[in-house]
Structure 1
Amino acid sequence: MLNKKLWISAISILRSRSHFSSTLSPKLKIFRVFSCSYHVSEPRVYTRFDDRFVGKYGFSKKNLCSQVSTLSINKCWNCNTVALSKPFLACESCRSVQPVDPSVDYFQIFGLEKIYGIDDTHLESKYKNWQKKLHPDLVHSKSEKEKEYAAEQSARVIDAYRTLQKPLLRAMYLLQLEGIHVDEEKTVSEPELLAEMMEFREAVEEAGSPQALEQIQCQVLEKMEVWSKYFENAFKNRNFDDAISSTQRMTYYHRINEEIIKKL
């Protein structure tokens, strides 16, 4: 019967190295197996492992099937071709632009690791390749649906490119992915930093030549680089308080640099 449920309950402690554990990892042991249920009309298996297994292998503490059930298969809305990889922004089969998938972050769009110190060597070329597939001008004769998809995808790729290209924006975006909002307008109440900012602004105002401005800019960018390194280390160690503090200081130097660029 479809509605018949088969319940298999087993509680066991496996302390010796069994054939099953050795196939997973030389050091891996299965510590507890709780009730596993199987429903004939809805074939899912629920298994929960010891927290040491969960933590070591990067799974959440929810049962493993909860992660499996969240997996979705992306298909082209136009030709139903299954996407073989992410990000699925455009169909390789019929070349139709796909709707925006919010689960795809900016790093995934450009095939980059989700870290601060990215290798941006090919960032511009990847950006141009995406625009060759997504730009709204390419779908001017297509349906209104695809025109909307193209406008959204193209705008998102532009934003992703600009965000990853600039150290400050990249830092703030990484924090955003962690659910942390950085208030750019928040004032840092450190007399030494505020005094330094005043000195930089006065120097920019008094600079009488492009060469003088470039010298000031060099100093500002050096300061920016120092705090970028502080952010990178703090974020890597998940010290978010220091990471936020670093971005706030980077914001000050970024604004000074913008003032210099306007005068050059």
Structure 2
Amino acid sequence: MDISKNFFELFALPVSFQIDPIKLSERYLDLQKTLHPDRHAHLSDRERRLSEQYTAYLNEAVTTLKTPLPRAQYLLKLHGFDTASESSVAIDPVFLMQQMELREQLEEIPDQADPFEALDELSEEVEAMLARLRIEFEERYIAQAYEPAVALVRKMQFLEKLALEVENLEDRLDD
């Protein structure tokens, strides 16, 4: 296995925001079988360590490509844009106000008459917003408009975090 390949090359997938999850999964399983440590137990320490490094690279690659936000971040990284830093791009104030309102909504949910219904509504709203951002990201990426694509990734980061907070609240309310 060649760890100098980018994640898309590793899985023989086109460098694109849209990927075939079945091909990704099939290729992952094929590579995983060839790299499994049990297959390398009889080899030297150096070769076993290399196998472990390959396996770690493979796992990082599949984790990155199977989820939209990390995949978008990786695509931009391939073009020299770092989206991991929270201060990598300014966020428009209208979006930030919207985020504050959504977070206030989230804080008020436990006091609602039917908190689970309110959670479902908020979750649907966040997912719809994420879906729109993913479509817009793909359009910008295809057009090679990387700076606007970076800004969209930053917005997706905010919404992914909010979606996780919604899930966490649901878990707490279930207890």
TM-score, scaled relative to structure 1: 0.58
State the Cα distance separating 1:189 from its structure 2 match. 4.2
Between the aligned partners of 1:140 and 1:214, the Cα distance in structure 2 is 49
- Alignment correspondent of 2:19: 118
Q: Following superposition of structure 1 onto structure 2, how do residues 1-264 of structure 1 map, counting pairs within 5 Å? A: 89=1, 100-102=2-4, 104-186=5-87, 188-208=90-110, 209-264=115-170
- Structure 2, unmatched stretches of 5+, are 171-175
State the Cα distance separating 1:223 from its structure 2 match. 0.7
Residues 160 and 183 of structure 1, relative CA distance in 2, 3 Å threshold: closer
Deviations 1:139-161 (A, max 9, x none): 23321122111111111111111
Residues 220 and 190 of structure 1, relative CA distance in 2, 3 Å threshold: same
- Alignment correspondent of 2:173: none
Deviations 1:63-90 (A, max 9, x none): xxxxxxxxxxxxxxxxxxxxxxxxxx2x
The 8 Å contact of residues 184 and 248 in structure 1, kept in 2 or not, is answered as no
What one-letter code is carried by the residue in structure 1 that aligns with 2:103? R
Between the aligned partners of 1:137 and 1:197, the Cα distance in structure 2 is 48
The 8 Å contact of residues 35 and 55 in structure 2, kept in 1 or not, is answered as yes
Number of aligned residue pairs: 165
Structure 1 residue matching 2:20: 3-state secondary structure: coil
State the Cα distance separating 1:204 from its structure 2 match. 2.3
- Structure 1, unmatched stretches of 5+, are 1-88, 90-99
The 8 Å contact of residues 3 and 54 in structure 2, kept in 1 or not, is answered as no
Residues 229 and 132 of structure 1, relative CA distance in 2, 3 Å threshold: same
The 8 Å contact of residues 163 and 169 in structure 1, kept in 2 or not, is answered as yes
Between the aligned partners of 1:235 and 1:195, the Cα distance in structure 2 is 26
Between the aligned partners of 1:257 and 1:181, the Cα distance in structure 2 is 23
More helix, by proportion: 2
Q: Percent identity?
A: 27
Between the aligned partners of 1:212 and 1:126, the Cα distance in structure 2 is 40
Between the aligned partners of 2:101 and 2:11, the Cα distance in structure 1 is 39
The 8 Å contact of residues 110 and 123 in structure 1, kept in 2 or not, is answered as yes
Residues 189 and 173 of structure 1, relative CA distance in 2, 3 Å threshold: closer
Between the aligned partners of 1:188 and 1:257, the Cα distance in structure 2 is 21
Structure 2 residue matching 1:207: 3-state secondary structure: helix
RMSD over equivalenced CA pairs, Å: 1.9
The 8 Å contact of residues 184 and 251 in structure 1, kept in 2 or not, is answered as no
What one-letter code is carried by the residue in structure 1 that aligns with 2:26? S
Between the aligned partners of 2:26 and 2:109, the Cα distance in structure 1 is 37
State the Cα distance separating 1:131 from its structure 2 match. 1.5
